[in-house]
Amino acid sequence: MPDIRFEERRRAERLAPEELARHQVVRLNHLLDAILPHNKFYAEKLAGVRLPLASPEDVARLPYTFKDELIGEAPFDYAANLTYPLERYVRFHRTSGTRGRPLAVLDTAADWGWWMDVWQYVLDAAELGPEDRAAMLFSFGPFIGFWSANDALLARGCMTIPCGGLSTLARLELLRTSRATVVFCTPSYALHAAEVAAENQIEVASLEVRRIVVAGEPGGSIPAVRSRIEAAWNAKVIDHSGATEVGPWGYADAENRGLRVIESHFLAEFLSLETGRPAAEGELAELVLTTLGREGAPVIRYRTGDLVRPVWSAPGENRFVLLEGGVLGRADDMMIIRGVNVFPSSIEQILRSFPEIVEYRMTAHKAGAMDALTVEIEDRLERPERVAKEMQVRLGLKVAVRSVPSGSLPRFEGKGKRFVDRRGEGT
């Protein structure tokens, strides 16, 4: 069945900046009209703000929303920004809790339909159609990424192949027998599955998989990681980004330059990391997002903590803002080592350029008053000095690198936890 909304999405991507801004203000005013009579959280936050908004500049009059504000009261931990009584909601999902207490976010049936609409941008980028068979390499649970991707694929008419509860080896066999053409997983798991396949003399490159759609980590937009996955699987990597409390807000740029924000459904702002003011093009900035179509659990001017470099002048027909290099890291993960800003993603780009490095772990700690970093690697050559030398050349820093026994570092199915931050534990 043809996707009658495909051309609508293409038209949205091509809107001139002033047309897009008008569209966003209209949608945001509509959202505020719908939620404020019922949403206690935002009724209190926006009390005293003159509405409706007359222009994009008026958005700056609205207060920011921070994740800590959304954490509800124990024992249920439902998000504090819910608009309606619980009986209106049909979906329950929860954040991972890797950065504090888990947050339970609910969606109405209408909101879940909005998720499906937004997801189609990601599936467009992957060029998926009803002829595709998508293997979902996730365990079942409250993680929203699996469920939203699964339902969006079903809405497009694709076959979905659930792989929860299976070992990696069993999943690889299911990929073969089902003749899967698409894999959905994290970048970490794509690499781990390829490693398990090699250990068991399975050639994943000979499978029928032609696309690997990844999220949950920056890896899909890191060239060395993307190239390594594509070489192992003989398939194209498609990155995307989202969050339980926000939605699926970003999809892969056609030229592999990073991520595009789906600005027809999200209003994006960028705060300079240096000044806290609106960022200039290419400047390192924190991404701030407002949902324009999720009435049951809206977020307005949400401080995501994701660090990006916005580019509005990228060539091509797509005028949605480009995040060059994707999500570069988290504001709270940034290290300042001898005056140099360093992100875990920068280290990963270097490490993944060495094909002999199977796995790694970074540990940040304090050396006196300064940040310091130690990197452990599973290295088939057991020559960590060459890696340390490359880091010094590319980062201008001396980083402690040491080899550890093969198989001693953890592997990951979900989001990889290769960055261990012990800076708050003292020396």
Secondary structure (H, E, C), the chain: CCCCCHHHHHHHHCCCHHHHHHHHHHHHHHHHHHHCCCCHHHHHHCCCCCCCCCCHHHHHHCCCECHHHHCCCCCCCECCCCCCCHHHEEEEEECCCCCCCCCEEEEEHHHHHHHHHHHHHHHHHCCCCCCCEEEECCCCCCCHHHHHHHHHHHHHCCEEEECCCCCHHHHHHHHHHHCCCEEEECHHHHHHHHHHHHHCCCCHHHCCCCEEEECCCHHHHCHHHHHHHHHHHCCEEEEEEEECCCEEEEEECCCCCEEEECCCCEEEEEEECCCCCECCCCCCEEEEEEECCCCCCCCCCEEEEEEECEECCCCCCCCCCEEECCCCEEHHHCEEECCEEECHHHHHHHHCCCCCEEEEEEEEEEECCEEEEEEEEEECCCCHHHHHHHHHHHHCCCCEEEECCCCCCCCCCCCCCCEEECHHHCC
Residues 247 and 396 grouped into a single domain: no
Q: What is the pLDDT of residue 414?
A: 65
> Domain boundary residue among 329, 349, 366?
329
Residue 14 burial (C-beta neighbours within 10 Å; 0-12, 13-18, 19+): middle
pLDDT for the residue 427 = 44
Verify that 318 and 349 share a domain, yes or no.
no
Of the candidates 81, 89, 88, 85, the residue with the CA atom closest to the CA atom of residue 46: 81
- CATH code, domain carrying 398: 3.30.300.30
| Amino acid letter for position 58 | D
Region of residue 322 (left: phi > 0; alpha: psi -120 to 50; beta: else): beta
| pLDDT attached to residue 339 | 67
Sign of CA dihedral 55, 245, 416, 129: negative
Global confidence as pTM: 0.86
Both 83 and 43 in one domain: the answer is yes
Give the CATH number for residue 117.
3.40.50.12780
> Rg of the chain over CA atoms, in angstroms?
22
- 303 and 249, same domain (yes or no): yes
Q: Are residues 321 and 338 in the same domain?
A: no
Q: For residue 64, what are the domain limits? A: 1-329
Whether 228 and 247 map to the same domain: the answer is yes
How confident is the model at residue 219, as a pLDDT?
Answer: 77
Q: Could you say which of 329, 346, 375 is where a domain stops?
A: 329
Q: Based on the structure, what is the number of domains in the chain?
A: 2
Do 238 and 349 belong together in one domain? no
pLDDT at 345: 81
Tell me: do 52 and 191 sit in the same domain. Answer: yes
Looking at the structure, do residues 106 and 53 belong to the same domain, yes or no? yes
* CB distance 171 to 192 below 8 Å: no
101 shares a domain with 79: yes
pLDDT in tens, the chain (427 residues): 457 689 999 999 999 999 999 999 999 999 999 999 999 999 999 998 999 999 999 999 999 999 989 986 655 678 999 999 999 999 999 886 555 577 899 999 999 999 999 999 999 999 999 999 999 998 878 889 889 999 999 999 999 999 988 999 999 999 999 999 999 998 989 999 999 999 999 999 999 999 999 988 877 888 888 999 999 999 999 999 999 999 999 999 999 999 999 999 999 999 998 899 999 999 999 999 999 999 999 999 999 999 999 999 999 999 999 999 999 888 877 777 766 778 888 888 899 899 899 999 999 888 766 778 899 999 999 999 999 999 888 888 888 999 999 989 988 776 677 888 888 775 4
33 and 77 inside one domain: yes
Length of the chain: 427
Last residue of a domain, one of 311, 329, 347: 329
Same domain, 12 and 55: yes
